[in-house]
C-alpha cells in the first residue's frame, strides 16, 4: 500500500535479520501524530496527553511520548514501575485503575501520581493506606446509554467503572473533609469512535458536571480528563477522526460552558492509546502453510497469541501481502494461526492476491493493544518488537521470547534455563 510506512525492500531486509513474526513501529509517524495532537489542544495552556501505557507498554515507546511532552496513564503496579523507570514523575503520571490492590495505590502515592479513583469505596481505602492527596480525581459513570448525533455509541450503564452521579457529589464532599483541595473529573464512555463528535459531546457533559460540582461543593475543579475513545479507521473506506477539528469543537464547548462560570483555568487531559499508536505499528508474519478443504486457508507463523483482537472481538485488521499490494485481490482466504482454537483467525473470507509460501504478510493498525495483549497459550512464544527509527535504522526494543522464558517460572529438572 502506498500509505504503508515501510517499503517491501526494506521489510525484506528487516525480516532477513529478525525472524518473523515481529511487531514493527514507525517512529516518524508516532512523532508526527503526537505533534498534531498537541496542536489540536494548544488553546488550553494546561493540556496534556497521558499516553495509555496498556496500549503499547514498551519503554522505548514511552521515551518517545516523554520526549513529545506527554505523560503516562497507568492502570497497574507494573505500568507504574515502567513509567518510573523511563523517568515520568509526579503529575506526569495518571493512575486510573479499578478493583485496585493496596500495593498499587501505595506505589502511585509514592510516585506522586495523580490518582483517579474508580469507586466511592476507594476513598476510605486510599485514606487508610496513605491519606488523601491534595489533588485527586474521580471517574464518572452516568449510566444508561451514551448518544451522539442521535446514535447510541456505547452503554455505560453496563460498564463496571466509575462513580454514579450521586456518589460523585457525596464523594467530593468526603474528599474535601479528608484534605483534598483540587479535583479532576474523568470519564470513558465510548471506544474507538472515528467520528468527530465524541469528545465534544463528552466534554459538554463533563464541563456541565464540573460547573454543578463547583457550585454545590465549592470544590476547585483543576482538570477534566476526556480519557481515550478517539479511534482509528481499521476498515478500508472509513474516514479517520480529525483531531484538529475535534480540538476546535472541544474549545467551543469549553468557552460556552466553563468560561462564563469563571472556570477558564480548567486543564484538559486526554489518555489516547489507540489513536497515538495503532496506525503506526504492524504485525509482520510469514505464510508457512496452506490448506485446501472446504475453504482455502493460509497458515502464518503468527497466531492469536501474538494478536488476539480478531479472535477476541472479531476485530478487523487490514492485511496486505508485501510486494503484491498492486496485484488483483482475486483469491479468497481465511488467514489463520496455529492455535488449537478455531477462532484463531486474523481474517475470514478475505480477498487478497495469490499467496505463496514464504510471503511476508502484514497485519496493519496493530500498534496499540497488539503485542501488549499477547499470551502463551499452547506454549506459544511472544514475538519481538522493532522500532523503525526516523533515520531509517531499525532498533530491537524487545527481543522475542525463548522456551527458557516460557519455563522460567517453573522449578523442574530438565527444562532449559537459558
| CA pair distance 180, 257, nearest whole angstrom | 24
Environment class of 20 (CB within 10 Å of its CB; exposed 0-12, middle 13-18, buried 19+): buried
Same domain, 181 and 111: yes
Is the Cβ–Cβ distance between 54 and 95 less than 8 Å? Answer: no
Number of domains in the chain: 2
In a domain, 11, yes or no: no
Q: What is the pLDDT of residue 305?
A: 96
Q: Which helix (H) or strand (E) holds 386?
A: strand 384-388
Same domain, 234 and 330: no
Q: Where are the beta strands (DSSP E) in 149-274?
A: 151-154, 182-186, 220-225, 267-270
DSSP state of 315: -
On the question of a cis peptide bond just before residue 376, with omega within 30 degrees of 0, the verdict is: no
Q: What pLDDT digit, counting tens, does each position of 174-192 carry?
A: 999 999 999 999 999 888 8
Tell me how many degrees the CA angle 37-98-73 measures, rounded to the nearest 5. Answer: 25
Q: What is the pLDDT of residue 159?
A: 79
| CA pair distance 138, 132, nearest whole angstrom | 12
Residue 275 has pLDDT above 80, yes or no: yes
Which pTM does this prediction carry?
0.95
The more confidently predicted of residues 263 and 417 is 263
pLDDT interval class at 284 (50, 70, 90): very high
Residue finishing a domain among 218, 250, 276: 276
Q: Which of 28-42, 140-154, 196-210, 240-254 has the lowest mean pLDDT?
A: 140-154
Q: What pLDDT digit, counting tens, does each position of 258-267 carry?
A: 999 999 999 9
* Domain coverage including residue 349: 279-407
Same domain, 225 and 348: no
Residue finishing a domain among 276, 301, 320: 276
Residue written as cell 460523585? 168
CATH of the domain at 302: 2.40.37.10
| CA pair distance 264, 252, nearest whole angstrom | 12
Same domain, 204 and 286: no
Q: What is the mean pLDDT of residues 135-160?
A: 75
Residue 127: how many CA atoms within 13 Å on its side-chain side?
13
Chain centroid offset of residue 24 CA? 16
The 8 Å CB, 24+ separation contacts for 76-80 are 76/104, 77/101, 77/103, 77/104, 77/107, 79/53, 79/54, 80/104, 80/107, 80/108, 80/111, 80/113
Same domain, 63 and 148: yes
170's CB contacts (< 8 A; 6+ apart) are 120
Residue finishing a domain among 255, 276, 297: 276
Q: What is the pLDDT of residue 32?
A: 98
Same domain, 210 and 288: no
% residues pLDDT > 90 (the chain):
92
Q: What is the pLDDT of residue 148?
A: 61
Q: What pLDDT digit, counting tens, does each position of 197-238 carry?
A: 999 999 999 999 999 999 999 999 999 999 999 999 999 999
Is the Cβ–Cβ distance between 148 and 199 less than 8 Å? Answer: no
Q: What is the pLDDT of residue 417?
A: 75
| CA pair distance 4, 19, nearest whole angstrom | 20
Residue 70 has pLDDT above 60, yes or no: yes
Amino acid at each position: 500500500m502506498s500509505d504503508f510506512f515501510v517499503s517491501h525492500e526494506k521489510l525484506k531486509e528487516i525480516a532477513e535479520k529478525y525472524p518473523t513474526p515481529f511487531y514493527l513501529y514507525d517512529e516518524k509517524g508516532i512523532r508526527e501524530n503526537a505533534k498534531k495532537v498537541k496542536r489540536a489542544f494548544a488553546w488550553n495552556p494546561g493540556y496534556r496527553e497521558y499516553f495509555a501505557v496498556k496500549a503499547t507498554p514498551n519503554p522505548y515507546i514511552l521515551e518517545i511520548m516523554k520526549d513529545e511532552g506527554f505523560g503516562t496513564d497507568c492502570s497497574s503496579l507494573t505500568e507504574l514501575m515502567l513509567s518510573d523507570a523511563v523517568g515520568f514523575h509526579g503529575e506526569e503520571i495518571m493512575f486510573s485503575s479499578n478493583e485496585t490492590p493496596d500495593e498499587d495505590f501505595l506505589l502511585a502515592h509514592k510516585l506522586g501520581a495523580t490518582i483517579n479513583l474508580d469507586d466511592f469505596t476507594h476513598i476510605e481505602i486510599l485514606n487508610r493506606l496513605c491519606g488523601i492527596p491534595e489533588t485527586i480525581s474521580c471517574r464518572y459513570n452516568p449510566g444508561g446509554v451514551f448518544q451522539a448525533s442521535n446514535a447510541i455509541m456505547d452503554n455505560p450503564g453496563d460498564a463496571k467503572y466509575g462513580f454514579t452521579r450521586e456518589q460523585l457529589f457525596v464523594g467530593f464532599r468526603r474528599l474535601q473533609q479528608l484534605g483534598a483541595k483540587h479535583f479532576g473529573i474523568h470519564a470513558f464512555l465510548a471506544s474507538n469512535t472515528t467520528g468527530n463528535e465524541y469528545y465534544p459531546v463528552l466534554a459538554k457533559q463533563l464541563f456541565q458536571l464540573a460547573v454543578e460540582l463547583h457550585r454545590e461543593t465549592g470544590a476547585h475543579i483543576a482538570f477534566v480528563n476526556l480519557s481515550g475513545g478517539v479511534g482509528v479507521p481499521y476498515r478500508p473506506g472509513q474516514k479517520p477522526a480529525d483531531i484538529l477539528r475535534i480540538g476546535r469543537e472541544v474549545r467551543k464547548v469549553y468557552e460556552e460552558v466553563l468560561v462564563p462560570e469563571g472556570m477558564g483555568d480548567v486543564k484538559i487531559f486526554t489518555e489516547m492509546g489507540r489513536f497515538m499508536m495503532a496506525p503506526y505499528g504492524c504485525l509482520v508474519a510469514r505464510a508457512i502453510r496452506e490448506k485446501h478443504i472446504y475453504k482455502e486457508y493460509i497458515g502464518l507463523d503468527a497466531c492469536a497469541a501474538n494478536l488476539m483482537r480478531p479472535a477476541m472481538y472479531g476485530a478487523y485488521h487490514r492485511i496486505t501481502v508485501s510486494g503484491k499490494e498492486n496485484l488483483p485481490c482475486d483469491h479468497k482466504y481465511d488467514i489463520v494461526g496455529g492455535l488449537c482454537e478455531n477462532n484463531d483467525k486474523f481474517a475470514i473470507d478475505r480477498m487478497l492476491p495469490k499467496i505463496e509460501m514464504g510471503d511476508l504478510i502484514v497485519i496493519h493498525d496493530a500498534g496499540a493493544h497488539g503485542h501488549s495483549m499477547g499470551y502463551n497459550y499452547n506454549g506459544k512464544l511472544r514475538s519481538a518488537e522493532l522500532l523503525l527509527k526516523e533515520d531509517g535504522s531499525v532498533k530491537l526494543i524487545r527481543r522475542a521470547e525463548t522456551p527458557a522464558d516460557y519455563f522460567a517460572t517453573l522449578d523442574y529438572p530438565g527444562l532449559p534455563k537459558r
